[in-house]
Chains A and B, each alone.
Chain A
């Protein structure tokens, strides 16, 4: 029986065209009893492969194909746990021991010293022996075979023979077999599989071309010569090797030997032990620590004391039951380390005394009172009535996640410290695998097929779907492309896109997951360098780490925390002391009024177009309401149909309360009352999914835990649907009808989509409120910090700047003698930093500011050119002038630009890396420096700001073209006074464009005009008719009807077109010549080129 021992999956990154699961399924169909996965330089897909293989009763064999320093390949298979550890170390060495992280290679000497427990195969056509044979001849190959036998032993080293119908195979394999025979080595047949089925060969060709950055035509030499690198029927392979049956028999021998190692259970991972003082046991130490905090947080007179005591007792029991006391204490230790780091990072700053935590908990761990006591959460779980079961329960199958958010700079340093504390060999970040989606697939496959770049880019930009598999459907709807679906090359593009969908493209870094192991992690999973300097990632993603039962610690960088840190510092600078955000008034009506009015642009989590619409109708009044706001506009509740019922019931509740009545929300079944009463009868939080299953279908804790795990996995919908039978049976036992059970189960399964646990929403709701409070009371400081911490959130700087103005904050252009590197506060003014100027950059801006601080303000353009760092290029100086940074020198911008030309050589003249100086060391006057020029026009200023800063600080461009807007266009601030159903025309700059998968083809466009923002809803038919304008135009004109509903105003679009402006009429000169444009047409043309890209989702 033949067993495949040399097989690549898509985790050979662009050298494998099938997922591990596809290979396993095919192997099952072909009745393989075992299969090896041997991806290049790693075991990225091995855990998923092993899980999937075991599920189908196939023995998974773990291995990898490594490249040696001379380029030769060698195939390694893990025979024993020791061999697996060696494999991981060797793979790690191949990655970490190289300068170029993209070219991992292993020294053969390392393999010679670390091969215990490994089976070494001599490799493919580029393998050890074939290369020696090819380069040095038969005698050298024989000597090398002898050496391999001496080093590895004849039991461990096999000469690999591959017959893929490649010319030369027969001669090569016969020669290799002779060498093996003469050296007393065994031979083994392998298939060098690169895809599961023969028809995938085309995709493999395309991937090879992508890997070599070539077209298919240009990659002939590097592509495989034929389509014979698929998983063949075992008897076909056996027939191919009928002259050497021992090569087939040995595959079986090797597979049997490799059965001694099972990746799914032989890893030996353990979390670092708790090392208590005076040999104190972990349970005792944890209990003592918590009891002290209990008295501090819940003094005897606290209304929550009794409940807190009960919760603590329950949690301590659960934690001890699962043997997790040490785990919690190590976490406590990590948080203490974070405190040290936070103190160091903040030392010398005013916010050091603000009482800011180094980080904050998020996720389900926030519901734990132990986490609250250990500092891992900042939310009182008793007062907030947080459900524990999502985080900790009696039948917990895996160690619970504890996620912590940190400001960026603290997180960076903390990760370094964790490396130091636990050792580099014991620590690694979790990786992730970006997969092909429609845009990336179209761009990369389009290139290899040599399709016109412009057309490919057009398809990528105009496409609405995210899945590459939908390209055919997408093309058939795209104007101008419908006829291409069956055209040569385009047809191939569609076929390939379907196949490439979901395949991993490369390895990347998970947002914050970190693994710490008491046993060296390099013996459990290989490590490699991340694209970020000094970062090391392990080769498994979140799901594989979960399957391996690793404890993942999430250190996440949260931009809003960095913003809060900076804002607190700026406030402290203004008023002498920092605000204590843990003691602000959390019931402040003024803050809630602003939130309820939908004035939330720039705030944490409640600023999006959809959130603003929601918030105007639900009108949150406290932190609990804010938690709902944070959680409700998520795919889980949306797909589950929770949103509209919640909004309606919330309104009904408000009306009832206004009349002094109690409101009883309708429930699908009385058994749902405990779980859903607080959210008015709908499922909003992940925890409620479990509570509903327990309440309505009597799920045991074990079933609930299994469902919880299913909910957090990739492709969780299928996994969750598997619970239907159990759910139905349980519900029937409780007298629930099948239709009702089905209806509720649909809501449960909807949470296979993304949703929040309540604890997470509570933590984020608190931060949302704190951001609103800071913005309300300290707007200049808040917007300054917001500008400095981009990118974050839903809006561009352009939109944020105008929102700042609406809050009374004046945004002023950069000033060469006043601006700092970053944005700064000048009384009620937000001054833009020099680092925001194009071609300037943070380092150069810092040098410009340093020189100014050292030797005084710049006095003239000549002075600036003389004193500024040499790296400040001519382009950067011109940009400074264009946006008015040098206006105080007393000349017009044109005069200043003229002077730049006097002092610095033309851009076309060859010069050094920055600017060459011309007679600049002495402050001499230039004979032509006093020539006079007029100033630049208002429209030129706006265009310059967009070009140089990426946003306009001078105001909305429409302020200059009011007279030229199409007839009948209404300003956004007049819509409120219009009637529901009115037919209207509007125009504006596209701020955001959303086409959520949950919206059944509806598209939402956020437009901004001079007066503010407005929301347009585009139905699928209108979208298809106007797709090009919607997806590609920065300025739009929309005709539609007005839809007004309880405080929200929307435009239901009927027609969407690119904005066109009327030519300026000579007969009606503007009354404001200084603020209008000279040629509206030209102005719009320039703006279309320079306007900021709309934030686009879907």
Chain B
């Protein structure tokens, strides 16, 4: 994201084929062996919920990777950590 919160192209995005079967996979420091370029950012949205329990504040980005695969990533707004959303 740039300073206005708008998307910029990211280089390193994990390919889920190489990740474990967890539904959400932390990737704070992407150092995964297989990476793909982002061809397009399809949509950005945000979720705020459960603030009365354990707050969920996430910024989601749906991207198209080179090769055409769709990936949904999200950032935990409070910690700045990025995750990949598994279908």
State the A residues within 8 Å of B (CB).
165-171, 201-202, 205, 216, 220, 223, 225-228, 236, 239, 449, 488-489, 492
Contacts and interface: CB of A to CB of B under 8 A. Distances in A.
A780 B57 CA distance: 70
Contacts of B43: 167-171
Q: Which of A220, A227, A228, A489 gathers most chain B CB within 10 Å?
A: A227
B52 A170 contact: no
Nearest to B4: A239
Contacts of A165: 44-46, 59
Determine the main DSSP class of A at the interface with B: loop
B82 interface: no
B8 interface: no
A227 B48 CA distance: 6
Interface string B51-68: 111000101100000000
B43 to A, nearest CB: 5
A118 B42 CA distance: 36
Interface in B23-49: 42-49
19 contacts: A165-B45, A168-B45, A169-B43, A201-B48, A202-B52, A205-B51, A220-B49, A225-B46, A225-B47, A225-B49, A226-B47, A227-B46, A227-B48, A239-B6, A449-B52, A488-B52, A489-B52, A492-B51, A492-B52
B71 to A, nearest CB: 15
Contacts of B47: 225-226
Contacts of A168: 43, 45
A512 B53 CA distance: 46
Q: Which of A167, A220, A239, A489 gathers most chain B CB within 10 Å?
A: A167
Contact of A226 (B4, B6, B42, B45): B45
B72 to A, nearest CB: 10
Contacts of A239: 4, 6
A659 B59 CA distance: 86
Contact of B45 (A169, A205, A216, A492): A169
A449 to B, nearest CB: 6
A202 B56 CA distance: 12
Contacts of A170: 42-44
Nearest to B2: A239
A107 B55 CA distance: 42
A170 B43 CA distance: 6
B48 A226 contact: yes
A355 B60 CA distance: 78
Nearest to B54: A488
Given A167-B60, A236-B4, A239-B4, A226 B46 contact: yes
A805 to B, nearest CB: 55
Given A201-B48, A239-B4, A489-B52, 11 more contacts: A165-B59, A168-B45, A169-B43, A170-B43, A225-B45, A225-B46, A225-B49, A226-B45, A227-B46, A227-B48, A488-B52
A199 to B, nearest CB: 10
B50 to A, nearest CB: 8
A165 B4 CA distance: 13
B60 to A, nearest CB: 7
B1 to A, nearest CB: 12
Contacts of A220: 49
A202 B43 CA distance: 25
Contact of B52 (A201, A216, A226, A236): A216
A538 B22 CA distance: 58
A201 B57 CA distance: 12
Nearest to A227: B48
Contacts of A492: 51-52
Contacts of A236: 4-5
Contacts of A171: 43
A228 B45 CA distance: 10
Smallest CB-CB A-B distances: 4 pairs: A165-B46, A167-B45, A226-B46, A227-B48
Contacts of A223: 49
Contacts of B59: 165
Contacts of B60: 167
Contacts of B51: 202, 205, 492
Nearest to B72: A167
Contacts of A167: 43, 45, 60
Contacts of A225: 45-49
A1017 B5 CA distance: 61
Nearest to A198: B48
Nearest to A233: B4
Nearest to B43: A170
B49 to A, nearest CB: 7
A716 B46 CA distance: 42
A494 to B, nearest CB: 12
Contacts of A228: 46
A223 B50 CA distance: 11
A207 B43 CA distance: 29
Q: Which of B51, B59, B60 gathers most chain A CB within 10 Å?
A: B51
A169 B44 CA distance: 9
A225 B43 CA distance: 15
Nearest to A496: B52
A17 B49 CA distance: 17
Nearest to A202: B51
B70 to A, nearest CB: 13
Contacts of B4: 236, 239
A166 B45 contact: yes
A167 B46 CA distance: 8
A239 B44 CA distance: 14
Nearest to A239: B4
A940 B49 CA distance: 55
Contacts of B45: 165-169, 225-226
A225 B52 CA distance: 15
Q: Which of B42, B52, B53 gathers most chain A CB within 10 Å?
A: B52
Contacts of B46: 165, 225-228
A488 B52 CA distance: 7
Contacts of B53: 488
Contacts of B49: 220, 223, 225
A227 B5 CA distance: 15
A205 to B, nearest CB: 8
Contacts of A201: 48
A227 B60 CA distance: 14
A170 B60 CA distance: 13
A365 B5 CA distance: 61
A314 B26 CA distance: 85
Nearest to B44: A165
A244 to B, nearest CB: 15
Contacts of B57: 227
B17 to A, nearest CB: 25
Nearest to A492: B52
Contacts of B42: 170
Contacts of A488: 52-53
A227 B49 CA distance: 9
Nearest to A242: B6
A489 B47 CA distance: 21
A804 B48 CA distance: 62
Contacts of A205: 51
A170 B5 CA distance: 15
Nearest to B59: A165
Nearest to B45: A167
Contacts of B52: 202, 216, 449, 488-489, 492
Nearest to A450: B52
A431 to B, nearest CB: 33
B41 to A, nearest CB: 9
A518 to B, nearest CB: 51
A201 B46 CA distance: 13
B78 to A, nearest CB: 13
A228 B60 CA distance: 14
A227 B77 CA distance: 12
A226 B50 CA distance: 11
A164 to B, nearest CB: 8
A170 B49 CA distance: 21
A220 B53 CA distance: 14
Nearest to A206: B52
Contacts of A226: 45-48
